[in-house]
């Protein structure tokens, strides 16, 4: 029986490309680089370090510098250049009223995630927030999901991970939890089904229906 609902942040709770992409552009410009828009959108999901090394092909040292530049902008204005997806608060409230416990499990550094969730009035629905420390460059969602399970002392079968990217579904599969992929974020049906998402939600309003009927 599902008791705990783990939500990804960027692309699942918030539409955040504005702040992320503008901050990435700023960092790359400081390094004398540019990337096409299609590549910039792929920065949403994995850790910044992975994106700067894999997408921009920076060395580890240059990626650290790029992250520093990114945060010069993102931590001041970029964090709040976003919006909550329509229907997410209502979905959270409906499920909370039925006794489910919500957690945001994100690859965004924890202190930044907390600021975003407070600003957009989502923190009130959550039991806790799980995310990496600023110097943790891993995109390993499995580790974060396991930390959330440990917080509750929960069994893997009692939790479902909701996310828009393969990283969320891969992490759920590795940790042994259930998974729901969402189509309104930055991934897509092909990416999510290829990773093995158990169920697919087209809109936030579909999430309570899936959880209440299928789990």
Cα dist. 203→47, 111, 181 in Å?
25, 28, 10
Give, as one character, the DSSP assignment of residue 85: P
> Is 8 one of the annotated active-site residues of the chain?
yes
The three-class DSSP label of residue 173 is helix
Give Rg (Cα) of the chain: 17
Residue among 8, 10, 50, 164 flagged as catalytic: 8
- Residue 44's H or E segment, with its range, is none
Instruction: Answer yes or no: are the C-beta atoms of 207 and 201 closer than 8 Å.
Output: yes
Q: Quick check: helix, strand or coil at residue 5?
A: strand
Residues 9, 92: Cα–Cα separation, whole Å: 13
**Quick check: 146 and 115 in contact, CB under 8 A?**
no
Catalytic positions, written as ranges: 8
């Amino acid at each position: 029986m599902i008791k705990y609902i783990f939500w990804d942040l960027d692309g699942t709770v918030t539409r955040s490309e504005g702040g992320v992409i503008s901050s990435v552009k700023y960092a790359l410009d400081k390094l004398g680089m540019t990337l096409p828009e299609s590549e910039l959108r792929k920065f949403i999901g994995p850790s910044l370090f992975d994106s700067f090394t894999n997408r921009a092909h920076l060395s580890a040292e240059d990626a650290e510098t790029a992250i520093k530049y990114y945060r010069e902008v993102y931590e001041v204005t970029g964090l709040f250049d976003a919006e909550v997806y329509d229907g997410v608060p209502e979905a959270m409230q409906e499920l909370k009223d039925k006794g489910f416990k919500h957690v945001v499990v994100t690859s965004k550094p924890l202190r930044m995630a907390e600021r975003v969730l407070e600003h957009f009035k989502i923190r009130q629905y959550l039991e806790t927030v799980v995310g990496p420390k600023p110097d943790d460059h891993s995109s390993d969602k499995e580790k974060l999901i396991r930390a959330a399970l440990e917080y509750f002392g929960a069994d893997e079968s009692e939790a479902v991970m909701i996310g828009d990217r393969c990283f969320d579904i891969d992490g759920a599969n590795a940790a042994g939890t259930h998974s729901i992929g969402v189509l309104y974020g930055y991934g897509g049906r092909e990416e999510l089904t290829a990773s093995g998402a158990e169920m697919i939600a087209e809109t936030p309003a579909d999430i309570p229906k899936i959880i209440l009927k299928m789990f």
